[in-house]
Chains A and B, each alone.
Chain A
Amino acid sequence: MARTDSLAKLAFAYGVHLTRRRLTRPRSQFASLLETYAPDGIRPLLPEERERHPQLIGCINCGLCALAAGRIGSVRPPDLATSYMRLYARLGAAASDLVGESPDLAAAASACPVGVPLDEVAAIVRRLAAG
Chain B
Amino acid sequence: MSAPSAQDVCVIGGGVTGAGIARDLSLRGLSVLLLEKSDWGGGTTGSSSWMIHGGPRYLEFDWDTTRLSTQDAGYIVSIARNMVYRVVFIIPVLPHDKNNIERMETAMEVYDRFQPLKHAHPHVRLTAEEAREAEPGLSPDIIGAVTMEEWGVDPHRLVFANVQDAVAHGTRALNHTRVVDLLRDGGKVIGVRYRGSDGSMSEARAKVVVNAAGPWVPEVGRMAGAAVHLRPAKGIHIVYPHRISNFSISAESIDGRDLLLVSHAGFTLLGTTDDDFYGDLDSVDVLEDEVDYLLQAFERVFPSIRDYRPVRTTTGVRPTLFKWRRYEDELSRRYEVIDHAPDGAEGFVTIAGGKLSMYRLMAEETSDAVCRKLGHQAPCVTATRPLPGNESDVEPADELGRAFGITALAAMKLQTRQGSNAAAVLKEARSGRMVCRCEPITEAELVHAARHEQVRTLADAFRRVGLAAGPCAGTACVLRAAGVIGNELGWSASQRFDAAREFVRGAWLGRAPILGHSGWAQEEMASGAMRGLRN
List chain A positions with a Cβ less than 8 A from chain B. 2-3, 5-7, 9-10, 13-14, 17-18, 21, 26, 28-30, 32-34, 36-37, 40-47, 50-51, 53-54, 57-63, 74-76, 78-79, 82-91, 93-97, 113-114
Check if A62 sits within 8 Å of B525, measured CB to CB: yes
Given known contacts A17-B105, A46-B136, A88 and B412 CB-to-CB distance under 8 angstroms: yes
Check if B522 sits within 8 Å of A14, measured CB to CB: no
Given known contacts A33-B124, A83-B470, A114 and B61 CB-to-CB distance under 8 angstroms: no
Check if A30 sits within 8 Å of B471, measured CB to CB: no
Q: Which of B29-37, B158-166, B219-227, B242-250 binds A? A: B242-250
Interface size class of B (residues with CB under 8 A): 35 or more
Whether a CB of chain A sits under 8 angstroms from the CB of B102 is yes
Whether a CB of chain A sits under 8 angstroms from the CB of B293 is no
Q: Which residues of B contact A51 (CB under 8 A)?
A: 136
CA A108 – CA B105 in complex, angstroms? Answer: 48
Q: Which residues of B contact A57 (CB under 8 A)?
A: 242, 308-309, 471
Closest 4 CB pairs of A and B: A61-B472, A86-B266, A94-B409, A54-B307
Which of A9, A40, A60, A76 contacts B525, CB < 8 Å? Answer: A60
CA A85 – CA B412 in complex, angstroms? Answer: 15
Q: Which residues of B contact A86 (CB under 8 A)?
A: 241-243, 266-267, 438, 470-471
Q: Which residues of A contact B126 (CB under 8 A)?
A: 29-30, 33
Check if B471 sits within 8 Å of A60, measured CB to CB: yes
CA A47 – CA B63 in complex, angstroms? Answer: 39
Shortest B430–chain A CB gap in Å is 19
Whether a CB of chain A sits under 8 angstroms from the CB of B188 is no
List chain B positions with a Cβ less than 8 A from chain A. 59-64, 85-86, 88, 102-103, 105-107, 109-110, 121, 124-127, 130, 133-137, 147, 241-247, 263, 265-267, 304, 307-309, 396-398, 401, 407-409, 412-413, 416, 437-440, 470-472, 475-476, 518, 521-522, 525
Given known contacts A45-B136, A54-B304, A79 and B109 CB-to-CB distance under 8 angstroms: no
Which of B106, B407, B518 contacts A13, CB < 8 Å? Answer: B106
Shortest A59–chain B CB gap in Å is 6
CA A124 – CA B181 in complex, angstroms? Answer: 57
CA A40 – CA B120 in complex, angstroms? Answer: 12
CA A97 – CA B399 in complex, angstroms? Answer: 11
Shortest B408–chain A CB gap in Å is 4
Which of B105, B137, B266, B397 contacts A50, CB < 8 Å? Answer: B137
Check if A44 sits within 8 Å of B135, measured CB to CB: yes
Which of A21, A50, A61, A93 contacts B471, CB < 8 Å? Answer: A61
Q: Which residue of A lies closest to B437 (CB)?
A: A79
Shortest B464–chain A CB gap in Å is 19
Check if B308 sits within 8 Å of A54, measured CB to CB: yes
Check if B397 sits within 8 Å of A74, measured CB to CB: no
Which of B63, B103, B133, B242 contacts A44, CB < 8 Å? Answer: B133
